[in-house]
Structure 1
Amino acid sequence: MSEEWTFGKIQYWHDPSQQQVEQELATKMLQIQSKRFYLDVKQNRRGRFIKVAEIGADGRRSQIFLALSTAAEFRDHLSAFSDFYSSLGPPNPDSVPEDGKLKSEMMIKDNRRYYLDLKENSRGRFLRVSQMITRGGPRSQVAIPAQGMIEFRDALTDLLDEFSTDEHAYKPDLPEGRHMHVDNKNFYFDIGQNNRGVYMRISEVKTNFRAAITVPEKSWQRFRDILSEYCDKIKQPSQGSGGGISSQDQPHSLVGNNTQQDTGTSLK
């Protein structure tokens, strides 16, 4: 068995509404029989997760993604599957079920389902882990040789012990982004988080222009109340003299275009 650890890698990719940042916190590599497995702890605006990638002897690559809470559940299942595997006798083709499944479990996390199947075929016994998205999308899976389940579990435990200690600071189940099209403009509402907390990024996107504001979670309700007050006043212009805006939220004059290009900074 060999191990590799790397820290601090950052990847960027283009998103229609904003520039996303994904940080790689650690990578652990395992060699199990003819396969290599990479367990990457990553972090983006939605929180931390683990990417499990399998590289076969022929170079083929497959991968699945696990939230930290799901990875902890998977770690516990690995212990149970390993105990069951240890109780099995030598392979006997006559006693193997028609579909090859010896033991199965399922995990559910948000819109993802994970199917764990300990199987046996002519090449031996292995744990197949399949990930499916309930709203549609490709099915992805990795296959861990049964002899390597304990080794895989121990590697996963090391990562969880290291990176789950302060997971409470992150909210893994943030709402999905929303999009609104008005005239020739697109507005994107994206929820993210960093070490200062949760925030909403509201982006205005046109052909060659993008501007954005960032609203910390603690001010969302007041932000909503102000918008609601303006909506009520526009609907009832004759009652403009009643229910004014509090001195805490004084109106301001707009001089020219006072928006500025979004630099990606959040939660000032």
Structure 2
Amino acid sequence: MEGAHGNDMELISKTLQVEHKIFYFDLKKNPSGWYLKISEKASGSRSTIIVPASGIRTFVDLFQYYVSGETPLESSEVQVNTKVFYFDVGDNQRGRFLKVSEVTRNRSTIIVPAGNGDGEGWASFRDILAVINEGLHSLAPEENTSADFQEPSSEHISHLVGKSQKAAFRSSVEEGAASVGHESSGALSKSIRVEQKKFYFDLGSNARGQYLRISEVTGSDRSAIILPVSALEQFYETVGQFVETVRNQELPEAGSSRMRPGASGGAAIRSWSEG
């Protein structure tokens, strides 16, 4: 799928560092179609896998499964078009890692560290895949319809990945459109979609203690905030106050969700939520 030099057009490019490794993500297009090139650079070596555009959403789903903290985490096999990818979790002296192998004529492998022992590296990897997936939908809607559909829940992913050490997880689009929805639910991770935005909630820990990482993915942009668990109750109460304010300012018309004209507080909240 990757064409000769000069024939490929690069549309989106992202870089991620996880521990001592650097990963490069390049969404490209050539006469054969769209594809994502993921390269790992570490200690002077470089390895690359090529993911057809139709498989990017599946990669997001699977990384979400591994971030979610389901136990035990199973290995999985992904078929995308004519390619097969294997996902295997392992451990070494540096900690946990996820090995992603592409099997064509030769086997090519990248290894993604979990990061800080709590999956932060996997979560960051997932976020960039989600950004590229959203960008693909904007650039080529015919290649990907994920922005119009809910992603499978973690229970659905677990069912597909579980039961055997090599369960097939095939790329597909689920029926059922929704503008706001809970898309996954795990012990340590959740995600929701709100209109064109996607939010990931990941509970993690480091030397300073536990925290909640909230990532926002909009189009080709990604941002995140970190909340110490000691602040979650206050955060919850503050958000609840805004929810009550918005409810009180809604028009009484049936089915209407608009704010009263001139309600500056409600307008400010609406502008914030719509980004």
Q: TM-score scaled by structure 1?
A: 0.48
